[in-house]
Amino acid sequence: MKKILFLSRSLGVGGAEKRMVTVARLLKKRGYEVNLVSYSGNRFFAEELEKENISVVWLSKGNFCKKLLQVRNLIKSNQYQAVISFLPTLNIINCLASIGISCRVIIGESSASSKFEQFMGRSYVIRGYLEDVLAYLFANFIVANSDNARGLRTQRSKWLSNKIITIHNPVLVPTPTDEYVFKKNGKLNIVVAASIQPIKNPLMVVKAISELAPQYRSQLQIDWYGSVIDENLNQQILYEIRKNSLEGVLNFHEATNKIGEIMNQADVVALFSVAEGLPNAICEGMMLGKPIIMTRISDYKQMVDDTNGFLCDSDHLQSINSAIVDAVKCSEDRLMAMGRKSKEVAERLFSPEMIGDKWQELIK
């Protein structure tokens, strides 16, 4: 049986982690022996992997060099056909740990967006260029999850153009157990799945909602699910909600592994990020057959237009307001038609069977 190893920073909630777990499950179903390596104790996705009989090797604590040596020893002793990683530090470890070992090195594209780098800081930018050099020397493929990300990476480092390909995120969604009810409680129910950090733009959304006319605010309920990454930002959000009496209109919740079920009960799925690779939450919302509100990020031109949703600009309050108001004004028939179109597009772009075939071909 051929073996595949995934390198992950953690099994915590996050876009890269979600993507990795889903790809690992698809390859497991195709007959590969799949293992994961992680060095963080966060086990958000651990139960999901256990159900698929995918084992996780937890590295002992230590510095970068110690992690690198542990991964190298693991690769040498297990004769993996491919080693796959998606995030910058793990991509660097992947490239270095596999030197001189006969295995495919496949790394993920880490966002080369100037907006993304602005939020992540100088060290992220420096690490990105180091990763580019190592990828050129040692990686077999760089897999971007959007054409936009591939274009930005190629623009930054043209010498990588022959190694970069696009494979969208595969989208697995739960089979609905409860029947969807349009405008439950008489309000348009919008669900957002995003962590609380500046790049996800939550404060701008709070301010935009506070400026909505009362007749639209009274018809709206937004439930935002995500872990708090920036506590100062979280406190600003809570202050703005209290100041503008938005309790019940805009509700923030912890991240949950039941987000698919929650989205299925929503009227609309939304995301207001400043930058993204490929937004899993939007892909999942589309696969569940939901109308979408999203900012003009990633491959939005392939994903959303006026037939299945509403586009807005992340840095413009009025643009966000207009998208939300347009959704509130929609009839049930209109929203249902948009949802059907979303599912049609999602099945064409994010079908797990199609994406699984692409990964299998890449590994071969």
pLDDT tens profile 86-114: 988 899 999 999 999 999 999 998 665 55
- Classify residue 277 as exposed, middle or buried by CB count within 10 Å of its CB (0-12, 13-18, 19+): buried
CA dihedral 301, 304, 305, 306 (to 10 degrees): -170
Q: How far apart are CA 47 and CA 293, in angstroms?
A: 31
Per DSSP, 228 falls in state B
CB 252 within 8 A of CB 209: no
- H and E: helices and strands count for the chain: 16, 13
* β-strands 188-193, 164-166 pairing: unpaired
- Classify residue 358 as exposed, middle or buried by CB count within 10 Å of its CB (0-12, 13-18, 19+): middle
Per DSSP, 196 falls in state B
pLDDT for 128 equals 75
pLDDT for 39 equals 82
Placement of tokens 């999602």 in the chain: 346
pLDDT for 73 equals 92
| 290 contacts: CB under 8 Å, gap ≥ 6 | 263, 266, 267, 268, 269, 339, 342
Q: Which residues pair with 104 in a beta bridge?
A: 82
Query: Which tokens go with 251?
Result: 């509700």
pLDDT for 264 equals 95
Give the global pTM: 0.85
Distance set, CA 263 to CA 37, 52, 128, 256 (Å) = 30, 24, 34, 11
Q: How far apart are CA 319 and CA 48, in angstroms?
A: 38
Per DSSP, 35 falls in state E
Query: Which tokens go with 211?
Result: 């400026």
Weakly modelled stretches of the chain, pLDDT under 50: none
| 22 contacts: CB under 8 Å, gap ≥ 6 | 169, 170, 171, 172, 352
For residue range 167-225, list pLDDT tens digits in order: 999 998 878 778 899 999 999 999 999 999 999 999 999 999 999 999 999 999 999 99
Query: Which tokens go with 290?
Result: 């939901």
